[in-house]
């Protein structure tokens, strides 16, 4: 792996692209132009890159102590100073783009950066770990609304659904890496609760998000709402049954990710137009 690819790996690219795409799709679904939605995508992508790089920067000593050679900084492909500088530059660029949209969006972006960094700075090590995810994801649709050429406040139910998706993402992201995380001292709420309880928690949070979406959305067609509920019941039911095994299979993680995707689709289809 060359240094460029190693640095990209340190940003945690898949979550970065997933979250920024979520923001862009929400923006576009609210009748924003492709250009505005693209700038929102880039701004949130930079915010996520900043959080991702800061994670590997701040965890470097613990990762090295645990011999996490899968981490580019530990293997020597990327320097800690590069992670630090890259994280700060990305944060500055994200905030600069947010200021371009106005004061409200700038404040929302600043809060999103604070929430993401607070997780890396210590909240990942105790029961409070879901809080930054809930606040950060909840702030995402607020940011897209305030970044609109005609700023607006999104309905509270969209904020709640986004927060639930954020918490679900946190638990789902922690499921496959619980053993490796504990070696580096990470003891977030999913690690405290264990794989079985975490799997059930993800299912409950995802199902609650679905129910809120289909009952509160003013524009979601009835047939799509019913289809979404049926698909969610099947996905969550199968994931919950599999999670009760002594060693839950990795496919539980994939099923839960699919459930989160269904929720995102329902949220986008049901979001009110402005």
Q: What CATH number does residue 17 fall under? A: 1.10.357.140
Task: Report residue 247's pLDDT band, with 50, 70 and 90 as the boundaries.
Answer: low
pLDDT above 70 for 25? yes
This prediction has a pTM of 0.86
Of 105, 136, 154, the domain-final residue? 154
pLDDT above 90 for 2? no
Maximum separation of any 2 CA atoms in the chain, in Å: 54
Average pLDDT over residues 23-31: 80
Task: Report residue 183's pLDDT band, with 50, 70 and 90 as the boundaries.
Answer: low
Domains in the chain: how many in total? Answer: 2
Are both 218 and 242 inside the same structural domain?
yes
Are both 148 and 121 inside the same structural domain?
yes
Are both 72 and 162 inside the same structural domain?
no
Of 154, 171, 188, the domain-final residue? 154
For residue 218 the two structure tokens come to 């003013």
Are both 99 and 79 inside the same structural domain?
yes
Are both 242 and 215 inside the same structural domain?
yes
Give the distance, in angstroms, between the CA of residue 114 and the centroid of all CA atoms in the same chain.
14
pLDDT at 182: 63
pLDDT at 199: 78
Mean pLDDT for the chain overall? 85
Are both 41 and 115 inside the same structural domain?
yes
pLDDT above 70 for 31? no
The answer to whether the beta carbons of residues 242 and 197 sit under 8 Å apart is no
Decide which of 65 and 160 is more confident.
Answer: 160
Most confident of 102-106, 163-167, 212-216: 102-106
Decide which of 60 and 179 is more confident.
Answer: 60
Are both 162 and 274 inside the same structural domain?
yes
Write out pLDDT tens, residues 54-105.
988 888 787 787 777 778 887 878 888 899 999 999 999 999 999 999 999 9
Are both 129 and 26 inside the same structural domain?
yes
- The backbone torsions φ and ψ at residue 218, rounded to the nearest 5 degrees and listed phi first, read -85, -10
Q: Is the dihedral of CA 11, 13, 18, 21 positive or negative?
A: positive
Alpha carbon distance 78, 240 (integer Å): 40
Alpha carbon distance 55, 36 (integer Å): 29
pLDDT above 70 for 227? yes
Are both 134 and 113 inside the same structural domain?
yes
- Its domain, for residue 181, covers 155-274
Are both 140 and 19 inside the same structural domain?
yes
Are both 84 and 102 inside the same structural domain?
yes
């Amino acid at each position: 792996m060359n240094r460029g690819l190693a640095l990209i790996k340190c940003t945690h690219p898949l979550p970065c692209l997933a979250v920024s795409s979520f923001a862009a799709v929400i923006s576009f679904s609210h009748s924003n132009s492709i250009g505005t939605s693209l700038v929102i995508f880039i701004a949130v992508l930079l915010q996520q890159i900043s959080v991702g790089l800061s994670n590997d920067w701040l965890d470097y000593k613990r990762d090295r102590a645990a011999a996490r050679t899968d981490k580019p900084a530990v293997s020597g492909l990327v320097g800690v100073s590069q992670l630090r500088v890259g994280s700060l530059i990305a944060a500055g660029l994200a905030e600069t783009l947010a200021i371009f949209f106005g004061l409200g969006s700038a404040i929302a972006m600043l809060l999103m950066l604070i929430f993401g960094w607070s997780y890396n700075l210590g909240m990942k090590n105790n029961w409070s770990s879901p809080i930054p995810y809930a606040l950060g994801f909840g702030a995402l649709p607020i940011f897209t609304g305030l970044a609109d050429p005609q700023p607006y406040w999104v309905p509270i139910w969209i904020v709640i659904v986004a927060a639930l998706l954020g918490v679900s993402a946190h638990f789902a992201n922690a499921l496959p890496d619980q053993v490796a995380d504990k070696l580096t001292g990470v003891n977030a709420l999913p690690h405290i609760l264990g794989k079985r309880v975490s799997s059930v928690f993800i299912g409950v949070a995802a199902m609650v998000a679905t129910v809120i979406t289909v009952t509160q959305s003013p524009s979601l067609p009835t047939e799509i709402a019913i289809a979404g509920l049926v698909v969610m019941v099947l996905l969550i039911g199968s994931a919950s049954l599999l999670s009760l095994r002594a060693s839950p299979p990795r496919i539980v993680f994939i099923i839960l990710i699919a459930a989160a995707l269904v929720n995102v689709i329902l949220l986008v289809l049901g979001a009110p137009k402005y």
